[in-house]
Structure 1
Amino acid sequence: MEGNLLIIEDDPEISEMIANYLEKEGYQSTVVHDGEEALRQFESKRFDLVLLDLMLPKLNGLEVLRRIRAQSQVPILILSAKDGEADKALGLRIGADDYIAKPFSPIELAARVEASIRRATQYSNTDHENEPESQVLSVGELIIDPDNFKVLKRNKEIKLTAKEFQILKLFVQHPTRVYTKAMLYRLVWNEEYYHDDNVINVHMRRLREKIEDDPSNPRYICTLWGIGYRLGEQ
């Protein structure tokens, strides 16, 4: 698979290992070692995916993530130490698509990179249950435009990440269906669910914060405790 990657990692040995392995897999890589240079490179070139370490000099990884996400929906994969659970959760809330814990297997990293780019590049054709993409959908005060990947609430656009959009579209397309976390993981992440509740919980919380007037009392996506989620507005 081809793609242009931005690798943001302050450890030269790790960044060189990542770049060399992924280049053998067909990717082109730009490697930077601090947050300020990362933003300069991102603003000067087009990238298909960002690999982001959180512990960076000059500008920390979470701030880099926040600034990139403010201007782009490019897939972002966090590289995180195993003891950085709080930072990983915060990164997902800010807008990261996935994370991989250090130390990691290059084979696993390449697989995650490929999956993330594939989901992004095929996003306009993503339809897991063969529903037409061209129909504009609406629920309550939300209008969902699948062709243009836009969500409006009271005629004001809401910026969603690719996964947030897929989750919302899935519920609105199938308003009577209940989705377990395992079902959501298979349909949105295209991977088997290994009881990693953190990824689902963070994406669901972030989506609710964007579309709900009161995220603690959701109107659009409701929780069925012990079962899963369903569309609240019918």
Structure 2
Amino acid sequence: MNDLKANILIVDDEERIRRLLRMYLEKEGFSIEEAEDGETALSLALDNDYDLVLLDLMLPGMDGIEVCTKLRQAKATPVIMLTAKGEEANRVQGFEVGADDYVVKPFSPREVIYRVKAILRRSSATAYLAKDTINTSNNIVFPNLLIEHDAHRVTAGGQEVALTPKEYELLHYLASSPDKVFSREDLLKDVWNYEFFGDLRTVDTHVKRLREKLNKVSAEAASMITTVWGVGYKLEVPK
């Protein structure tokens, strides 16, 4: 991973935090760019293909939620939100607009590096690393849906679908146990790895976005993700 120097954009209005993050991430071999406000961050993120964006929630002008919302309309770049304690509601909103993870300030640089590496490992942005060595036993194949796990690549109706890391994980998790019903609580715990403040809209929003992306290329694939009212969701295999 680091041989290819993953490019990371750090967005925070505090220079001291940007400097700290840059120091630790460059030490790990990453290539770093910085932005101190939302407008600059969005412009940079749209014009460049970053492997990951570390995005502060509270920014002057355009805040992190708006940046993430607008970025998601155009790209699937992984996003880790930086949030302060006591911003739980905003954090949930961050997940709803497509953030993949979050780190709470004050943070340990070691935790940030761990989360950055975890996201990059499973990110669709680095799918090309595994394309030549796909182990077919890790593929999940349905009539209208192909999930190549080693490459983190999803094809529906014969067309590749660009998913964020979290959207991919959600789809892969459901597809790994077809026809099994998962509650929203199960999905929050197992896909997001958080048993946090019980806001289940995070799951609903990601399911909605996942269906919309699949539906653009294959209505059949999108219809496989079914809602089990009062319980949760499942991936239903066409009979």
The answer for the alignment partner of 1:39 in structure 2 is 42
Cα distance in 2 for residues equivalent to 1:222 and 1:125? 35
Q: 1:134-155 CA deviation, whole Å, 9 max, x = no partner?
A: 73x25xxxx4332552456xx9
Moved more, 58-67 or 7-16: 58-67
Cα distance in 1 for residues equivalent to 2:89 and 2:194? 20
The answer for the alignment partner of 1:65 in structure 2 is 68
The answer for the alignment partner of 1:149 in structure 2 is 154
Alignment of 1:69-148 (within 5 A): 69-120=72-123, 121=126, 131-133=137-139, 135=141, 137-138=142-143, 143-147=144-148, 148=153
Q: 1:30-67 CA deviation, whole Å, 9 max, x = no partner?
A: 01101111122223332110000011123221111112
Moved more, 114-123 or 157-166: 157-166
- Give the TM-score normalised by the residue count of structure 2: 0.73
Long gaps (5+) in structure 1: none
CA contact (8 A) 2:96 2:206 kept: no
> Over aligned residues, Cα RMSD in angstroms?
3.5
Secondary structure of residue in 2 paired with 1:95? coil
The answer for the alignment partner of 2:196 in structure 1 is 196
CA contact (8 A) 1:10 1:33 kept: yes
The answer for the alignment partner of 1:170 in structure 2 is 173
Q: Give the drift of 1:74.
A: 1.3
| Paired-residue identity, % | 34
CA contact (8 A) 2:154 2:160 kept: no
CA contact (8 A) 2:179 2:236 kept: no
Cα distance in 2 for residues equivalent to 1:63 and 1:162? 19
Secondary structure of residue in 2 paired with 1:15? helix
Q: Give the drift of 1:97.
A: 0.3
The answer for the alignment partner of 2:226 in structure 1 is 220
Secondary structure of residue in 1 paired with 2:139? coil
Cα distance in 1 for residues equivalent to 2:230 and 2:237? 14
Cα distance in 2 for residues equivalent to 1:100 and 1:198? 18
Moved more, 143-152 or 111-120: 143-152
Amino acid at match of 2:154: F
Indicate how the Cα distance of structure 1 residues 123 and 179 shifts in structure 2: closer, same or farther if over 3 A, else same: farther
Amino acid at match of 2:59: L
CA contact (8 A) 2:37 2:62 kept: yes
Cα distance in 2 for residues equivalent to 1:88 and 1:170? 23
More helix by share: 2
Cα distance in 1 for residues equivalent to 2:187 and 2:207? 19
Long gaps (5+) in structure 2: 216-223
CA contact (8 A) 1:55 1:61 kept: yes
Secondary structure of residue in 1 paired with 2:77? coil
- Give the TM-score normalised by the residue count of structure 1: 0.74
